[in-house]
A and B are shown apart, each in its own frame.
Chain A
Amino acid sequence: MSQDDDQDWLDALAGRGTAASPTGREAEVLRAALGDARQSTTEVATDEVGAARRKVALIERAVQEGLIERAPRRLRRWQLPLAASILLAIGAGIFFRPQVTDDSGVVRGDERGIVRLTAADPARLERDILAQLRAAGVEATGYEALDVHGIDADLALPLSPEVQRILDTQGIPAPADGVLRIEIRRSE
């Protein structure tokens, strides 16, 4: 096989000029067959899960290569309305929360699990809550010491709907262990 033969073969295979030599014809028919084979190649089915995984891998690799910076996590399309709905629900809950007394407030976060309330008339709020709990069948004890009114109660778990309603009405979180301890101070 001479270099000229190889060049004829290469040119014919590449579709340059008209093949006159046997070598060129050999390449020409090969070129046609390859073209037919390409056309008949079936497409690989798209694997959406795999494609998504590879996209993540590509982005991760681009980050590792220093080509892009990791973008701050963006909210997905459905996350924004969901977040807005939650905020709206919380806002509405706070805004429309029913109040038995018009002057009570709640302070939470005591590490001993004590719920701290404030009211213009602590004694009255103590009496109201005690009365409601007892009416719901809860054994609750009230006390007063140094101008602080308190209520201690052991709530049966799970909470009955009536007890849950009382706690909700007063904005008192349900104790996980059923031990309810409330302190009520005079509001400033």
Chain B
Amino acid sequence: MRMIRNPDAARDLVQDTFIKVWQRCASFHGDSELLPWIEAILRHGVLDWLRRSGREVPFDEGEAMNVELAVRVVELSQRDIATPDDQLRRQQLADCFQKCWARFEAAAPSHAAVISWIAADGLSHEEIAALLERSPGATREFISQCRKRARVHLAEWYELAFGIEGES
């Protein structure tokens, strides 16, 4: 529901998923677990909906991808992963992430959705290709785009996350 940002549309998607599961259950041969199979159907529906809703903002690399920003993220990434020990800093970091992620979801919902699914379920390259219904080469390009876009939209949070360790 968070990805869709429209409770009614999200519920409709869940209904569509139930109907599709029903229609396709004869084709489920147990090659995979049932729940991931159902989740894959739901994710197809989510991606279709995101494409249809036309919320995706075209990514102009020259304009949006600030080279300095990219270099800064790479530099920061070389530091140890920060683990803020006090509650206030943790909350500050979490709030910043939520804000940046919301911006990312608003600008590039499909990319944000795929990133969150990779992190949640450890999707492989092949699984992502199947989900996107793209060739391996096109999937590699999509993943690369995901990474670039995440860097741009999450730059403020990266700075804060790695900066905490840098300051200590």
For the complex, give the distance between the alpha carbons of A40 and B154 in Å. 19
Q: Most chain-B Cβ atoms within 10 A of its Cβ — which of A16, A31, A57?
A: A31
**A32: which B residues are within 8 A, CB to CB?**
81
**A38: which B residues are within 8 A, CB to CB?**
116, 120
In the complex, B135 has a CB within 8 A of chain A: no
Q: Name the interface size band of chain A.
A: 35 or more
Q: Most chain-A Cβ atoms within 10 A of its Cβ — which of B77, B98, B140, B150?
A: B77
Contact of A22 with B147 in the complex, beta carbons under 8 Å: no
Contact of A13 with B74 in the complex, beta carbons under 8 Å: no
In the complex, A49 has a CB within 8 A of chain B: no
In the complex, A84 has a CB within 8 A of chain B: no
Contact A67-B19, Cβ < 8 Å, known A13-B118, A25-B77, A44-B1: yes
Within residues 136 to 164 of chain B, which ones have a CB less than 8 A from any CB in chain A? 140, 143-144, 147-148, 150-151, 154, 157-158, 161-162
Partner of A33, one of B73, B123, B157: B157
- What are 12 pairs between A and B in contact, CB < 8 Å? A7-B125, A16-B122, A25-B81, A29-B77, A30-B119, A30-B154, A34-B101, A37-B98, A37-B101, A38-B116, A38-B120, A58-B18
Contact A15-B81, Cβ < 8 Å, known A1-B147, A10-B143, A30-B150: no
The 6 closest A-B pairs by CB, nearest first: A22-B77, A14-B122, A26-B77, A34-B119, A31-B119, A22-B78
- Nearest chain-B residue to A41 (Cβ)? B2
- Nearest chain-B residue to A25 (Cβ)? B77
Contact of A26 with B158 in the complex, beta carbons under 8 Å: yes
B2-24 interface bits toward A, Cβ cutoff 8 Å, 1 = contact, 0 = none: 10000100010001001100110
Within residues 74 to 126 of chain B, which ones have a CB less than 8 A from any CB in chain A? 74-75, 77-78, 81-82, 93-94, 97-98, 101, 115-116, 118-120, 122-125
Residue ranges of A at the interface with B (Cβ–Cβ < 8 Å): 1, 3, 6-7, 9-10, 13-16, 22-23, 25-38, 40-41, 44, 50, 54, 57-58, 61-62, 65, 67
For the complex, give the distance between the alpha carbons of A35 and B101 in Å. 13
Contact of B124 with A14 in the complex, beta carbons under 8 Å: yes
Contact of A25 with B78 in the complex, beta carbons under 8 Å: yes
**A58: which B residues are within 8 A, CB to CB?**
15, 18-19
Contact of A3 with B94 in the complex, beta carbons under 8 Å: no
- Nearest chain-A residue to B100 (Cβ)? A33
**B150: which A residues are within 8 A, CB to CB?**
30
CB distance from A123 to the nearest CB of B (A): 73
**B75: which A residues are within 8 A, CB to CB?**
22
**B116: which A residues are within 8 A, CB to CB?**
34, 38
Known A-B contacts: A58-B18, A67-B23. Give 9 more (CB < 8 A): A1-B147, A13-B119, A14-B118, A29-B82, A33-B93, A34-B116, A37-B97, A38-B120, A54-B15
For the complex, give the distance between the alpha carbons of A27 and B101 in Å. 14
CB distance from B154 to the nearest CB of A (A): 7
Contact of B148 with A37 in the complex, beta carbons under 8 Å: no
For the complex, give the distance between the alpha carbons of A13 and B23 in Å. 33
